[in-house]
Amino acid sequence: MPKKKITGLVGGTGGYVLAKGLSDYTDRFDISMIYSTADDGGSARTLVYEFGLLPFSDSIQLIMALSPVHDDHVTDVLSQLVSHRFSNTNSFEGQRTGNLIYAALTEILGSEQKAISFIAHDLLHIQGRVIPVTYDKSQLVAEYANGKQMKGESSIDVPKYKWQANHRITSLFYDPDVQANPDAVDRILDSDLIVLGPGDVFTSVLPNVVCHGIAQALRDTDAEIVYVSNLMSKWGQTNHYATVSKLIDVMNSYISTDTQNYIDYCLVNNSDIKKTMAKAYYDYADNDVVAIEDDCESIHNGTQIVRADVLSDQHVIKVKGDKLIRSLIRHSPEKLAKALIDIIT
């Protein structure tokens, strides 16, 4: 019997969490991760603006998550080499070695697609697939309720201006428009379970959906669609959507062209966020963030609410040289994967 196919539409740290959890089930399920290529901040900026390449940071995180554990020293060092970040240097501060290897392999092999495949399958022998949502170069644009626009994923992710947090995001799109990678569309149509998230709504998950062709594929697929609700709000993104019902409605609005619901399940954390963890998050983010309120009953507009303890109890330590603001309260890879496997089985 062929393996059932699970596909994530992800970006950022949440993508790594999902892929890491599902990597324990590659003997039973066919796993693929479709990831956003909108990133233009941090170490991705050099690739995007100096080399003219797609960002590689999300891809390398997924590759590392799906890479099998090896005991031999050479493979272990190779894995560390690809994911290593430089620190204590002006020119390469925060840059990943993997980004430089990716840029070099793109020139050597002749395409970004071949470079990603070589690193994933020939170097690190991952169990699963990582699929860029598009190969087109563009910029993500958010339009706000006051009519103003902000261009660039990094400028949306970490707001430059206070007005970005004072007004909700009303529209998300690419300028210029981008076409979805045919491999991503085919995978969605051929999946049994599609997982949206976890991750920042407007800079990790939805950048996949607004690629031309992805929303249509989500409407056409026979797969069941699960949205993994955020744990915390994010200043400048979801501080106006800090309830589970609002997050479901926003996510569905980018898939649907009418009022029809396409999200079959929403996975919601039901364990308490420890006060000490919450305080660390508030202090670190230095902005008004709150735990997402579970305001739903068992079903919300056709979406079944699945509640489980999916919260990680591990303290997140930033990688040396990483300058970006990261989520400190995260989903547990193991708990998240188990909850999703329970849905598909």
* pLDDT at position 48: 62
91-100, 143-152, 253-262, 278-287: range with lowest mean pLDDT: 278-287
pLDDT above 70 covers a percentage of the chain that reads 86
- Domain spans in the chain, listed from the N-terminal domain onward: 4-344
What phi, psi does 165 have (nearest 5°)? -85, -25
Residue 154: strand, helix, or coil? helix
Nearest to 232 by CA among 115, 102, 144, 327: 327
Q: Quick one: average pLDDT of 104-131?
A: 93
- pLDDT at residue 111 is higher than 50: yes
- pLDDT at residue 158 is higher than 50: yes
| Cβ pair 252, 262 in contact under 8 A | yes
Q: Quick one: average pLDDT of 112-124?
A: 92
Tell which wins on pLDDT, 83 or 183.
Answer: 183
- CA-CA distances (angstroms) from residue 195 to 35, 95, 166, 331? 12, 29, 30, 14
- CA-CA distances (angstroms) from residue 296 to 167, 237, 313? 24, 21, 25
- pLDDT at residue 9 is higher than 50: yes
* pLDDT at position 196: 98
Interval 187-246: pLDDT, tens: 999 999 999 999 999 999 999 999 999 999 999 999 999 999 999 888 889 989 999 999
* pLDDT at position 321: 46
* 211 burial level (CB within 10 Å; 0-12, 13-18, 19+): buried
Interval 268-326: pLDDT, tens: 999 988 765 666 666 655 556 788 999 999 999 999 999 999 999 876 655 554 444 55
Q: Quick one: average pLDDT of 158-176?
A: 93
Residue 179: strand, helix, or coil? strand
pLDDT above 90 covers a percentage of the chain that reads 65
* CA angle 158–163–167, rounded 5-degree value: 95
* pLDDT at position 324: 45
**Average pLDDT in the chain:** 88
* pLDDT at position 51: 74
* pLDDT at position 322: 46
Tell which wins on pLDDT, 321 or 178.
Answer: 178
pTM for the full predicted model: 0.92
* pLDDT at position 269: 96
Residues comprising the chain, all counted? 345
| Cβ pair 313, 273 in contact under 8 A | no
At residue 47 the predicted structure's pLDDT band, cuts being 50, 70 and 90, is: low
- pLDDT at residue 75 is higher than 70: no
* pLDDT at position 289: 77
Q: Which residues contact 222 (CB under 8 A, 6 or more apart)?
A: none
At residue 57 the predicted structure's pLDDT band, cuts being 50, 70 and 90, is: confident
Alpha-carbon gap, residue 249 to 200, rounded angstroms: 15
Q: Quick one: average pLDDT of 102-121?
A: 93
What homologous superfamily does CATH list for 4-344? CofD-like domains (3.40.50.10680)
Q: Quick one: average pLDDT of 175-179?
A: 97
Task: Give kind and range of the element (H or E) at residue 170.
Answer: strand 169-175
- pLDDT at residue 169 is higher than 60: yes
